[in-house]
Structure 1
Amino acid sequence: MQPTFVLVHGAFANSFSFAPLQAELGLLGHRSVAVDLPGHGFGAAYPRAYQAPQDLEGLATAPGSLKGVTLADNAAHLTGILERAGRNGPVILVSHSRGGITATAAANARPDLIDRIVYVSAWCPVALDAGDYYSEPEMATVDTASLAAAMAGNPAELGLLRTNFRTADPEVLAALKAAFLADGTDEEFLAFLNTFQPDENLDTGTRADRAQAATWGRIPKTFVRLAGDRSLPLALQDRLIREGNRLTPDNPYDVRTLGGSHLKWLLDPAPAARVLGELAAL
């Protein structure tokens, strides 16, 4: 029976990111569903201050609907989708970037709902909480200072993360492009940037949300490395793979590699669709 691919987006993203991949999967004969986590997609909030002409002072203080949304909320939402998808046969859970944290939490809670879990340059914390990896050597090449320049407001006061993706600051735009789509054109970068939403929830989990051997560790798993990723560097991807393999040595990652940046695989989805098609046949 053909599996259903359940696709989980990363930070500030939504199900729209997966439209080209879903088209490619469909043309190859595969069924897929792209998830919008709570407060994402058409459920996202766009403060009036975010619209042009922008009110930067207002943007820094405007309330957002993602305040108080937790990782547990995300995992519960995903679990409900996995339950529904499972009525139609096997389920392959695919996550990208920060979506891996939600996928891991759902796998810890309900491993019975997932026939394979796939991380595409995605976070799967094992040894540390997700945020703590940013101070590790593998993340030293990430230009966090330039990326922080795109942030709006104080996360502690807003109760959420807010980024001004509609900035016209050339230095900030250059930093964002270098981090996420260095191998794309300026036109592709701006098109993708305009699918992002300004707000993201703060909660990235605690020790209890890291991969657990007794639950997450029972699921067959694949890690798709993105060789040109500068926002989640290859060294960090490889560390996550090593840590996962040490946690479950009898169930190691099946590792695949695609070229390209953090977002290029979504703009040019044919290679990723072929890899996922191979996994569906396992």
Structure 2
Amino acid sequence: MRELGRRAFLSTTALAAAGCTPPKATTADPVFVLVHGANGNAGSFAPVVAELTLAGHRALAVDLPGHGPRGHFPVSYQTPQDLAAFAAEPSPLAGITLADTIAHVTAVVRRAAALGPVVLVGHSLGGATITGVANQVPGLVARLVYLSAFCCVRLRSVLDCFLAPEAAGSLLPAIPGIGDPQASGVARTNWRSADPAFLAAAKAALAADYADSTFRAALNAMEPDESWALTTGDARGDPATWGRVPRTYLRCTRDRAIPLALQDRMIREADEATPRNRFDVRDLDAPHLGPEDPRELAELLAG
């Protein structure tokens, strides 16, 4: 954060010294709206938002319901942890549905669309939400961008995607969870675990080849609970509405959470549903959390 602030200060100072001012956005310029995945929050995209902003673009990241400032961090999850109490802790996220996240992001998109064309970006589980937004308000979304994200067309739900044969290689099931999500209503994970086996499983699934320091920073920004209902809700895109919106799929080629085979199946089924509006597919040499350097993703989005 300190380095980011230093870079922003130096960029502004250099422009001022040269007698220049940063380019001003107009209503013709895009507004990037970024939607995080499971266990994330708006902070997940903070480095990318910073890079987009420093390049003269407008960007904002959304906290989905029950995340960010409204995230659930029970005392038992803090240090020292009480894992028995943590496992039994009720969660306010248990009642959150896919319809809730869609309504929340749709409200943001309505406001952002008054500023310029909205480029709606969803990562991982966030793909189910941005599909739902495009079902609701296709005229307010200039482009959908799926960052190694779920895009359901024939497969009804995110859970159905995980049950598909193309998901057999996913390493997500190897990350230990706490409790029974069907009983508690949430998928709960102890991201603050110091267990070497847990850390190895999480890194392999989410951030292989990241520096250990970068990986630990990512874990510390993650939230313990995610609503189970988000994985079981009907997440299918409607060809008559969602299918009209131009879309891009960013394939993370080293993703071990959503394997390439599953990404490619979702891309193929979407293209078959709307043959006149096919995915613009771009490859990122990155694991599930995306490129370690946020500038790489920011430059791809801006381009």
Q: TM-score range by the shorter chain?
A: over 0.9
Partners of 2:178 and 2:190 within 8 A in 1: yes
Partners of 1:49 and 1:55 within 8 A in 2: yes
Partners of 1:142 and 1:230 within 8 A in 2: yes
User: 1 CA distance for matches of 2:56 and 2:154?
Assistant: 38
Aligned counterpart, 2:273 = 247
Unpaired runs of at least 5, structure 1 = none
Partners of 1:10 and 1:97 within 8 A in 2: yes
Is residue 190 from structure 1 mapped to residue 190 from structure 2 by the alignment? Answer: no
Aligned counterpart, 1:108 = 135
Is residue 158 from structure 1 mapped to residue 175 from structure 2 by the alignment? Answer: no
The structure 2 residue matched to 1:171, chosen from 197, 205, 217, is 197
Aligned counterpart, 1:228 = 254
Partners of 2:97 and 2:233 within 8 A in 1: no
Normalising by structure 2, report the TM-score.
0.88
Q: Secondary structure at the match of 1:2?
A: coil
How high is the sequence identity, in percent, across the aligned residues?
49
Superposition map of 1:16-165 within 5 A: 16-128=43-155, 129-147=157-175, 149=176, 151-165=177-191
Deviation, structure 1 residue 237: 0.9
User: 2 CA distance for matches of 1:24 and 1:145?
Assistant: 33
The number of equivalent residue pairs is 275
The letter of the residue matching 2:221 is: T
Aligned counterpart, 1:214 = 240
Deviation, structure 1 residue 204: 2.8
Cα distance change, pair 85–144 in 1 and its aligned pair in 2 (3 A):
closer
Aligned-residue RMSD, C-alpha = 1.3
Is residue 275 from structure 1 mapped to residue 300 from structure 2 by the alignment? Answer: yes
User: 2 CA distance for matches of 1:256 and 1:68?
Assistant: 36
Aligned counterpart, 1:200 = 226
Larger RCO (alpha carbons 8 Å, 6+ apart): 1
Q: Secondary structure at the match of 1:222?
A: strand
The letter of the residue matching 1:161 is: A
Q: For residues 134-181 of structure 1, what are the alpha-carbon distances to aligned partners after superposition, in whole Å with 9 as ceiling and x for unaligned?
A: 22222111234421x2x1122123221111111121111100000001
Q: Secondary structure at the match of 1:93?
A: strand
Partners of 2:182 and 2:228 within 8 A in 1: no
Partners of 2:206 and 2:257 within 8 A in 1: yes
Q: Where does structure 1 differ by over 4 angstroms across 4 or more consecutive aligned residues? A: 205-208
The letter of the residue matching 2:122 is: S
Unpaired runs of at least 5, structure 2 = 1-27
Is residue 12 from structure 1 mapped to residue 39 from structure 2 by the alignment? Answer: yes
Q: For residues 229-267 of structure 1, what are the alpha-carbon distances to aligned partners after superposition, in whole Å with 9 as ceiling and x for unaligned?
A: 1111111111111011000000000111111111142x3
Q: Rg bigger for which structure?
A: 2
The letter of the residue matching 1:153 is: G
Deviation, structure 1 residue 209: 3.0
